[in-house]
């Protein structure tokens, strides 16, 4: 119930009570309430819980998180570890 996954808004309309949207979760679409994300537009990615969008994902922040890769790469360089090679040799449990 609490594993809200991100989906993309593909359509927006108003019903008698609130703003609604159609959200695409990688091919599966659902009708969700946009009552709590008044700023949301078609094309935005939202986190949805039990039929309600609770946030619009922030592209800039998302990029910043991913820029961590570069940051960690730099760190490894400073430590003299191969930026690419090292990570692949760790035995994995992550698919």
Residue choice 11, 35, 77, 82 for contact with another protein (CB under 8 A): 35
Output 12 or 47, the one with its CB closest to another protein: 47
Would you call 25 helix, strand, or coil by DSSP? strand
Site for another protein in 75-94 (CB under 8 A): 75-76, 79, 81, 86-88, 90, 92-94
Residue choice 11, 72, 74, 82 for contact with another protein (CB under 8 A): 72
Residues 6+ apart with CB under 8 A from 42: 9, 10, 11, 12, 21
Contact with another protein (CB under 8 A): which of 58, 74, 77, 82?
Answer: 58
Q: Scanning the structure block, which residue is given the tokens 């790469």?
A: 73
For residue 80, the tally of other CB atoms under 10 A from its CB is 6
């Amino acid at each position: 119930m609490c594993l809200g996954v991100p989906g993309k808004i593909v359509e927006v309309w108003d019903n008698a009570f609130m703003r609604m949207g159609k959200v695409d979760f990688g091919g599966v679409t659902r009708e969700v309430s946009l009552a709590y994300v008044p700023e949301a537009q078609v094309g935005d990615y939202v986190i949805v819980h039990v039929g309600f969008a609770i946030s619009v994902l922030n592209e800039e922040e998302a990029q910043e998180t991913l820029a961590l890769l570069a940051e960690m790469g730099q760190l490894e360089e400073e430590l003299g570890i191969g930026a690419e090679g090292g990570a692949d040799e760790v035995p994995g449990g992550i698919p």
